[in-house]
Structures are given as C-alpha cells and as structure tokens.
A and B are shown apart, each in its own frame.
Chain A
Amino acid sequence: MSGGSGNPVLYLDGVSVVFDGFKALNNLSLFVEPGELRAIIGPNGAGKTTMMDVITGKTRPTEGTVRFHQHDLTKLDEATIANLGIGRKFQKPTMFDALTVFENLELALKAPRGPFACLRWILTGEARRKIEGVMEEVGLGARAHDRAGVLSHGQRQWLEIGMLLMQDPELLLVDEPVAGMTDQETEHTAALLVRIAGARSVVVVEHDLEFVRALGSKVTVLCEGTMLSEGSIDHVQSDPRVIEVYLGR
C-alpha cells in the first residue's frame, strides 16, 4: 500500500529516533498523498507524538528521510517548517491564554511574520472577515473578545483547530482533536476534518476508534515506533497483529 501515485506531500522513509538507547521511532515509513485524510492510531508509547515532533522540526531523527514536497525537514527549524505550510494542533491544546480568541486567530492568520512586518501590521477588512469566518466555523463567534485562558477544554480544542485553519496550511497534523469533547462536538469535528481534507492533506492522531470510523479514511497503525498495519478501518481491525497489540497477547 505504500508509495501510491506519483508525488506524496509528506514522505517519511526509514525514520528512527533514539533517546538514550530507547527507540521512540524504529525505521518508520509513511507517505501522505495530496488532499488525503489519514488517521493514525496506536497504543500509548507507539511513537505518534514523536512522529509529529519529527515532522514539525521539534525533534531531529537519528536517521532517515523526512520530506515535505522537495524540502528536507530534518534540516529546518520549527518556524520555517510552519511557514512551508505544515500546521500542527497539539495533543494538549496550547494557545496564548493572555490573548483574546480574536487575537489568537489573528496571530495564526497567514501574513508576513517578521518583527517589522508585525509592527506595521494593520488589520484590514479582508483579514477581519476571514477571522470572523473561522470563528463562526468553530463556534466561537460569541467569544471573540474573551481571553483564551477562560475557555472550556472543548472550546480550546476548537480554537486550536481554528488557528490551524487561519494558517491555511497544505498539511495539517492534528493530535487527538476530540479528547474532552461531547459526542455531538466529536461528530461536528469529524465532519469538519473531512471537509477540510481534499483541499489539503490532513493527518489525524486519535485513540477514539468511533471517531476514526466516522472519518472514513485510510488508517495507519503504529506500534513501538514502527508501522504495524495500514488500510481501511475494517481491514486493520481484523488484522491479527493489531488485535494482539490492542487486546494483549
């Protein structure tokens, strides 16, 4: 199933990460196609977050190739990678608590990022409309001028997804987006991610198998830092190796 057609957006080949002798990733290979929605599941310690760290430049791989289009991500820093068009939502929603919802989104909005550009920045009508549009989309329109620190956990998840949308990235890495959400919110999120994919590639890490099923996408199962199985949700759920890992041996 690897490879597929022509030019993957994201290309990981033989990636290993070693912390003090512990192999967090072990010869991992992964390809994501343009416009693809991909779910990644796996037990705790499978290396899901480390994989995200490697792609976004937070952790350097011990060996292996990591490419986004033709860019070698192992040589770039976080900011440069983000500016190439890779957005990330963290497992624990992180945003700027002292700033308002509006300001958080404004910071995420795709615009020149240098200090002088920021000093000269003027909020245009177009930018304001874009921010307001995203606020509606993630259901935070009424809370535009509340500080992010006072939002509930679910709302924080939404705000972070909103920030991701503001960045207008080509590839979205979404780490456990529905943790702490109600069933209704979970459904809404699944629909949103499906809608976003197509125009861009989305990689979702999740524990919630119902949610993954709702995404209806190809699923990759990670275990002990390496790929265990790949295919449709039904395919991986019937894979005996996956069953063994999840249910114990």
Chain B
Amino acid sequence: MTLRFVLLGALLVLAVMPALNRLPADSALHVSDFLISITGKWITYAILALAIDLAWGYAGILSLGHGAFFTLGGYAIGMHLMRLIGTRGVYGHPTLPDFMVFLGYKELPWYWLGFDSFPYALFMAMAVPGLLALVVGYLAFRSRITGVYLSIITQAMTYALMLAFFRNDMGFGGNNGFTDFKELLGMSLNTANARAVLFYASLVLLVVAFFLCTRVAQSKLGRVLVAIRDAESRVRFLGYDVTQHKLFVFVLSAVLAGLAGALYVPQVGIINPGEFSPGNSIEAVIWVAVGGRGTLVGAVLGAFSVNALKTWLTTVAPDLWLFALGGLFVAVTLFLPRGLIGLFSKAKS
C-alpha cells in the first residue's frame, strides 16, 4: 500500500519536471535542462530494466545481450533522424547522410529505404529487435540452451553485432555511428519543447510498459514463466511447450528494449556501435539485480538509483565509479539477492 503511494508520488514528481523547467532559472523550484535530459535518459533505462526483468526475473532468461535490442531500436530511429537532416548536412546531399557521401555511396542502400517515414522507423525499432530475439531465442530455446549457456550466447550476439557495426561497409556509419541530428516530427531537437515532448513520451512508455509487464506477470502466463524459471523440465511434463512461452516473453522483452532505445537516441543525440558493447548489457542487468529482480518496481528503482549513483560518482571521483559498479555486482549477489525491494520488505516485516 505504502509502496503504491511512493510510486504514485514519484510519478507525479516526474510528470511535473518539464513544467518546472519552464520556471525562471532563479526560482527555487527550477529544474535545469541537464536534469531534464538526464532524467529522460534514465526513464528509457528504466524501460530497458523492465524488459530485462520480465525475461530474467520471471522466466529466468538471463540475457546479457539486451543492450543489442536497445541499440538496434536506437539505430532504427537514428536512421530516421539521419534522413531528416537532408541538405543541412556538411555535404548538403539531399538524400545521402554525410558519412555515405564521405564513403562514396552513390545511392541509399536498400535497407535505408523507407526510413524517411517516422511510423516506419518506429515500426522497425520494434520489429528488428523482435525478429532478432525471435531467431536467436528460437534457436537457443529449441535446443534447450538455458542458464549461463544462454547468457553467453546472448553476450556473443551483442559482441558480434558490435564488431559488425564497427565496419564502415555495413552502411551504419562505422565507429562514428549517427549524430548531429536536427529534428524529429517537425520539432527542432535542441529546444526545451522537444526535450519536454521526448521526456513525456518516455514517461508514458514507462507507465504503459509497467502495466503491460504487470499484466503478464499477474496472468497465468506469469505463473507459467515462474514455473519455467524454477523447474523447466517439470513444466514440460505438465504439457506446456516451454519454447513457445520463453519465446513469447523474450520477444516481448526485446521489443520493449527496442522502443526504449528508440526514445533514448533522440534524447542523447548520438548512437554508435559502442552501445552494443557487452559491458553495457551486463550493466543493465545489474540495475535489475540492485533494484530486485522478479519485482517490476524493483527494476525501475534499480535503473534510477544505479544511474543516479553513476552520474554523481563519475563527476566527483571518476576513478572510483568502476570500483563501485564492480562492488555493486559482488554486494548485490552475495548480500542482497532480492535487491533494494527485498530490503524494504524485510524492514516492513
């Protein structure tokens, strides 16, 4: 009960933040541009955390490659943003992005077609991660690759994607990726207005994702997933096709991650293959672990708290951050298996 009030309060605070941003800078309640953009970024991280928690906390699928789904979603929107730059690029080419002109492309590669349309780009931001999850998941789950094996396969997946996207001839800008975006849906990106719109869009997606995940978790499907997590072969002997259930949740989770990435990129203004690095994915997993896996609130809480710690620590003592992050991995797994949420519920009882 109290938790619900805290959540509602937090949501309310988030909801008024862009409005407070419009207050004069000397007002006590003024919220800085920096705080708006960083909170907007964290909200997309929280959605990613929800996606990971749904797969890991409920179905026991510890994916170390969710950063890949997130990044693919980001690239899809990034492609749209690149197309929208148009003649404002350095080379001023009407259709080709700068890096393509630089690399001597004569026309757009076929897979870039259609990305001038926002709905298409948004669709691809979901479809590409979803399809990748479907293929990888099908191959892995069908062969009953579980536990750490699955984790390593997914890690290899994001690693392979990183290597591939670093190549110039993939047609995704090589190691520079995409940046210098100008506008989205007719809004110039570097305005308070655009920041507020993207912030609210992220917040709405977070709320929707939260309720969607809650719906799944509280349905019989959620209980089947927990059963799969705890005793996979027993579920088979009850007549459930485990592959189908795992695939459902894995693809759903990948689509959510892709959408989160799609909202992340216009807010941070850059996307490059570094986002595919296995370290990013595993860092996102630790958000969930810190918050408390298997509880959706925990995932969101973890994403916000770890990233707040990161932002603070990397400014006051940059050398310490990696020690702190590594320490979090150790401390959470050894001493706090149920995360911060577990700490709260222990304190309550």
Judged by CB atoms under 8 Å, the answer to whether A and B touch is: yes
Binding site for B on A (CB under 8 A): 56, 58, 77-80, 82-83, 87-88, 90, 94-99, 103, 106-108, 113-116, 118-121, 163, 167
Quick check: A78 and B233 within 8 Å, CB to CB? yes
Query: What residues of B have a CB within 8 angstroms of the CB of A120 in the complex?
Result: 219
Cβ A78 vs Cβ B226 within 8 A: no
Number of A-B residue pairs, CB cutoff 8 Å, is 79
Counting from the closest, the 6 A-B pairs by CB-CB distance are A82-B239, A78-B236, A118-B221, A115-B248, A121-B220, A83-B239
For residues 221 through 263 of chain B, which have their beta carbon under 8 Å from a beta carbon of chain A? Answer: 221, 223-224, 226-227, 229-231, 233-242, 244-245, 247-249
Q: Is the interface of B mostly helix, strand, loop or mixed?
A: helix
Whether the Cβ atoms of A56 and B219 lie closer than 8 Å is no
B251 → chain A, closest Cβ, in Å?
10
**A96 is contacted by which of B215, B234, B236, B241 (Cβ under 8 Å)?**
B234
B232 CB to closest chain A CB (Å) equals 10
Question: A residues within 8 A CB of B248?
Answer: 115-116
Asked whether B194 is an interface residue with its Cβ less than 8 Å from the other chain, the reply is no
Q: Known interface pairs A118-B224, A119-B219, A121-B219. Does A56 touch B239 (Cβ–Cβ under 8 Å)?
A: no
* Closest B residue, CB atoms, query A149: B230
17 contacts between A and B (CB under 8 A): A77-B236, A79-B239, A79-B240, A82-B236, A82-B239, A94-B234, A96-B234, A98-B230, A106-B223, A107-B223, A113-B239, A115-B245, A115-B248, A118-B219, A118-B224, A163-B238, A167-B238
Say yes or no: A118-B245 contact (C-beta < 8 A), given A99-B223, A107-B223: yes
Q: In the complex, what residues of B have CB within 8 A of residue A121's CB?
A: 219-221
Do the beta carbons of A88 and B237 come within 8 Å of each other?
yes
Closest to B231 in A: A94
Taken together as a complex, chains A and B put the C-alpha atoms of A96 and B216 apart, in Å, by 18
B residues less than 8 Å from A83 (CB atoms): 239
Structural contact, A95 and B239, CB atoms closer than 8 A: no
Q: Contacting A79 at CB < 8 Å: which of B219, B229, B236, B247?
A: B236
Assuming the contacts A78-B236, A82-B237, A114-B244, asked whether A96 and B220 have C-beta atoms less than 8 A apart, the reply is no
Minimal beta-carbon separation of B242 from chain A (angstroms)? 7
Pairwise interchain contact A167-B230, C-beta atoms closer than 8 A? no
Q: How many Å from the CB of B271 to the closest CB on chain A?
A: 32
* Given A79-B236, A79-B239, A98-B226, CB of A115 within 8 Å of CB of B244: yes
A107–B236 touching, CB < 8 Å = no
How many whole Å from A74's CB to the nearest CB in chain B? 16
- Closest approach, in angstroms, between the C-beta of A231 and any C-beta of chain B? 30
Q: Which of B229, B238, B241 contacts A107 (CB 8 A)?
A: B238
Expressed in whole angstroms, the Cα–Cα distance for A90 and B236 within the complex equals 13
B227 and A99 form a contact (CB under 8 A)? yes
Contact present for B234 and A114 (CB under 8 Å)? no
| Interface contact A56-B237, CB-CB below 8 Å | yes
- Name the residue of chain A whose CB is nearest to the CB of B228: A96
- For B246, the closest partner residue in chain A by CB is A115
Contacting pair B220 A79 (CB below 8 A) = no
Question: Cβ of A107 and Cβ of B220 under 8 Å apart?
Answer: yes
In the docked arrangement, what's the CA distance between A97 and B221, Å? 16
Give every chain A residue within 8 A of B224 (Cβ-Cβ). Answer: 107, 115, 118
Chain B: CB-nearest residue to A85: B239
Quote the shortest CB–CB distance from B130 to chain A (angstroms): 15
Add 14 more A-B contacts to A87-B237, A99-B226 (CB < 8 A). A78-B236, A82-B238, A90-B237, A95-B231, A96-B226, A96-B231, A106-B223, A107-B223, A114-B241, A115-B245, A115-B248, A119-B220, A167-B238, A167-B239
B223 touches A115 (CB 8 A): no
Residues of chain B lying within 8 A (CB to CB) of residue A118: 219-221, 224, 245
Closest to A57 in B: B236
For B220, the chain A residues whose CB sits under 8 A away are 106-107, 118-119, 121
Contact partners of B244 in chain A: CB under 8 A: 114-115
| Cα–Cα, bound, A96→B234 (Å) | 9
The distance from the CB of B245 to the nearest CB of chain A, in whole angstroms, is 5
Establish whether residues B239 and A103, one from each chain, have CB atoms under 8 Å apart when the complex forms. Answer: no
Complex formed: what's the CA distance from A56 to B234 in Å?
11
CB distance from B247 to the nearest CB of A (A): 8
What are the residues of chain B within 8 A of A96 when measuring CB–CB? 223, 226-227, 230-231, 234
**Which residues on A sit within 8 Å (CB–CB) of B235?**
107
Contact call A79/B234, Cβ cutoff below 8 A: no
**CA–CA, A79 and B234, complex, Å:** 10
**What B residues does A107 contact at CB under 8 A?**
220, 223-224, 227, 235, 238, 240
How far is the CB of B60 from the nearest CB of chain A, in Å? 11
**Once bound together, how far apart are the Cα atoms of A183 and B231, in whole Å?**
30
**Complex: how many Å from CA A99 to CA B230?**
10
Chain B residues within 8 Å of A106, by CB: 220, 223
In angstroms, Cα B216 to Cα A116, docked, is 10
Q: Tell me the complex Cα distance, A168–B321, Å.
A: 57
* Residue of A with least CB distance to B244: A115
Residues of B within 8 A of A108 (CB): 238
Which B residue's beta carbon lies closest to that of A160? B234
- Residue interface bits B151-165, CB-to-A below 8 A is 1, else 0: 000000000000000
- Measured CB to CB, the nearest residue on chain B to A119 is B221
A58 surroundings in chain B (CB, below 8 A): 233
Closest to B236 in A: A78
Q: Which residues of B contact A56 (CB under 8 A)?
A: 237
The 8 A CB mask of B316-345 against A (1 = contact, 0 = none) is: 000000000000000000000000000000
Whose C-beta in chain A lies nearest to the C-beta of B242? A79
Q: Which of A77, A106, A113, A120 has the most CB of B within 10 A?
A: A113
